[in-house]
Amino acid sequence: MSKQNRPAKATALGRYSFYRKLFFLYALNLCDWLCTSVLLRTGSFFEANPVMSPVMRGFLPALLIKGLLPLALTLLCAVLFKLSGEQDSRFTTVLLNIGIVAYTLVNLLHVVNFLLLFFVI
């Protein structure tokens, strides 16, 4: 089999479609919101992002900024991608992968904070 006919090796994130990555990114955002809210309510943690600190103080602002606005943007991206008729581009793939890795790291930090809360504090 020649090099041209061989299927490309899929990386861990590379084998998923644009839509799955977009959904996963939104799900990681919701997980971040939930974990942040729980950790803030313990009183042992604070919001590290100064822009999000006032937003996280109330449920309605958090719902709008962390829940509904990202949902609307996710749906808009999905519709625009569908209407464009393009295949996954390298640019969109890189952007989505960066977002997924960043949110995964944030959520891993939440796991560490939960471990500290339950086993150290």
Domain ranges for the chain: 18-119
- Average pLDDT score over the chain: 86
Residues 23-55 pLDDT 10s: 999 999 999 999 999 999 998 888 988 999 999
C-alpha span between 8 and 90 (Å, rounded) = 14
Q: Which two tokens stand for residue 76?
A: 């808009």
Write out the H or E segment, with its range, that includes residue 119. Answer: helix 90-119
- The angle formed by the CA atoms of residues 28, 50 and 75, to the nearest 5 degrees, is 35
Is 13 in contact with 97 (CB distance < 8 Å)? Answer: yes
φ, ψ for residue 57, nearest 5 deg: -75, -25
Q: How confident is the model at residue 17 (pLDDT cuts 50, 70, 90)?
A: confident
